[in-house]
Amino acid sequence: MKKKLLVTDLPCSEYEGKRVFVRVDFNVPVNGGKITEDYRIRRTIPTIDYLTRCGARVILASHMGRPKGRMIEDLSMAPVAERLNEFLEIKVRFPGAVVGRKVENASKKLKNGEVMLLENLRYHNEEAENDADFSRKLASLADIYVNEAFGTSHRAHASTYGMTAHFEKKLAGLMVGNEIKFLSRLIKRPKKPYLVIVGGMKIKDKMGALKNIIKKADRVLVGGGVAYTFLAARGVSVGKCSVEKEMICWAREALETYKEKILLPVDHVMAEAAGGRKMRVVVTGAEIPDDMTAFDIGPKTVEKFTSHIKGEGTVFWNGPMGFFEVDDFSNGTSAIARSFALATWRGATTVLGGGDSVASLKKSGVKFSEATHVSTGGGACFEFLGGVDLPGISILSDS
């Protein structure tokens, strides 16, 4: 990939008095109106600081959750505006809308060094649809475009792709630039051995990238919901576990081609339902009874997987090993997280693909500083490492 033009590649004089649209990824967890994890917000502060110090009039925009065009109060960006007030030590304007006369007037009233945060972009279906008129309305608010939302750069949405057609200069924020630089190095020359840990739910969402990642990896540990499709492809009974039937042929082919690389669970922590009390651990094999659902990898799998996470080479982890939000099913993910942190301490290059992986790391009591690199993107990070073109990155101006 060609080097992209960074926000700091332009002198301050280019920003003074200009309205700068910064697409950020503030899709953070909120409980009772309070933000419970602000890592993604903190990572954008250097870019916002640079622009405000240069005298830019900064317009921030993000999505939160999946409101599907509805104005859901629990998915409002209002709590984010409050947190930004604390970090930036200035009053962040919050018009409570995305487009329209109210927002247009607010953007025109911004003074040099001031910041405005728009309401949730996905309150409008046109955002995910990459609607041309919606893209034009967003673009009309600013003079310069900056992408500081690595986590959504794999989506060709209005704010990450469509609106950029209206700008001469499309810049990468400092955090996005850092993600590109670090992950590009990992693609070209990963320290060997290269271990990949894959969890989460769907193979279909990961297939294109997973193909390329498996080729480059020396070992691939597969857990979480993804594992049950692989197990089914191997002819193992998976009970009530969700299986992507359309992906079984591909999974079978991958297992045949890379049988020495791919390791699957050999036991599971199961229950009749996620909140059910009737739980048991199968330690004798990978088979799951017809009336049961697996919600975590079992103790033998934990032992098997962690034995491969060593203090050398590269360890890339994307996706939890189970339903980690429930304590009864969090042991597998926690064990991987602890081994992951230990590998860092012993000298391995450890990379955490964002999303649920970040949440699971925190729940396990492992600090972000105990990883070499914590990406702000889950799917975006995985696809980038898999060599998949990210629309929100490729559209940016080359350096």
Judged by average pLDDT, the poorest of 51-60, 280-289, 305-314, 389-398 is 280-289
Name, in order, each residue with C-beta under 8 angstroms of 306's C-beta and a sequence gap of 6 or more.
335, 336, 339
Task: Report the pLDDT averaged over residues 137-156.
Answer: 97
- How would residue 277 be classed by pLDDT, with cut points 50, 70 and 90? low
Q: What is the mean pLDDT of the chain?
A: 93
Residue 391 in any domain: the answer is: no
Report the DSSP beta bridge partners of residue 258: none
Does residue 54 register a pLDDT over 60? yes
Domain span at residue 266 reads 190-385
Q: Are residues 244 and 353 in the same domain?
A: yes
- Among 141, 157, 179, residue at a domain's last position: 179
Structure tokens at 252: 């079978």
What is the three-state SS of the chain?
A: CCCECEHHHCCHHHCCCCEEEEEECCCCCEECCEECCCHHHHHHHHHHHHHHHCCCEEEEECCCCCCCCCCCHHHCCHHHHHHHHHHHCCCCECCCCCCCHHHHHHHHHCCCCCEEECCCHHHCHHHHCCCHHHHHHHHCCCCEEEEECHHHCCCCCCCCCHHHHHCCCEEECHHHHHHHHHHHHHHHCCCCCEEEEECCCCCCCCHHHHHHHHHHCCEEEECCCHHHHHHHHCCCCECCCCCCHHHHHHHHHHHHHCCCCEECCCCEEEECCCCCCCEEEECCCCCECCCCEEEEECHHHHHHHHCCCCCCCEEEEECCCCCCCCHHHCHHHHHHHHHHHHHHHCCCEEEECCCHHHHHHHHCCCCHHHCCEECCCCHHHHHHHCCCCCHHHHCCCEC
- CA-CA distance, 303 to 319, in Å (whole number)? 18
Is 196 a member of any domain? Answer: yes
Choice among 202, 211, 240, 338 that is catalytic: 202
Catalytic pick from 353, 379, 386, 392? 379
Among this protein's residues, is 162 annotated catalytic? no
Residue type, 364: S
Residue with tokens 């049961």: 292
Q: In this model, does residue 279 exceed pLDDT 80?
A: no
The residue among 126, 145, 179 that closes a domain is 179
- Do residues 106 and 34 both lie within one domain? yes
Q: Which of 162, 177, 355, 386 is catalytic?
A: 355
Cβ neighbours, 10 Å, residue 303 = 12
Give the residue from 12, 39, 19, 45 showing the smallest Cα distance to 27: 39
pLDDT band at 359 (very low <50, low <70, confident <90, very high): confident
End of a domain among 125, 154, 179?
179
Model pLDDT, residue 278: 56
CATH code of the domain in which 308 resides: 3.40.50.1260
Do 169 and 295 fall within a single domain? Answer: no
What confidence category does residue 262 fall into, taking pLDDT thresholds of 50, 70 and 90? very high
CA 187 to chain centre: 18
Contact 158, 187 (CB under 8 A): no
Cβ neighbours of 398 (radius 10 Å): 10
Q: At what angle do helices 39-53 and 174-188 cross, to 10 degrees?
A: 120
Do 216 and 281 belong together in one domain?
yes
Catalytically annotated residue among 40, 93, 122, 300? 40
195 and 310 together in one domain: yes
Q: How many domains does the chain have?
A: 2
Statement: residue 207 has pLDDT above 90: no
Read off the amino acid at residue 174. L
Of 17-21, 273-277, 298-302, 308-312, the poorest mean pLDDT is in 273-277
Residue 387 annotated as catalytic = no
Q: Clarify whether residues 255 and 358 are in a common domain.
A: yes
55 tagged catalytic: no
To the query of whether residue 40 is one of the catalytic residues in this protein, the response is yes
276 has a pLDDT exceeding 60: no
pLDDT in tens, 65-122: 999 999 999 999 999 999 999 999 899 999 999 999 999 999 999 999 999 999 999 9
379 band by pLDDT with thresholds 50, 70 and 90: confident
Is residue 274 predicted with pLDDT exceeding 70? no
pLDDT reported for residue 283 = 55
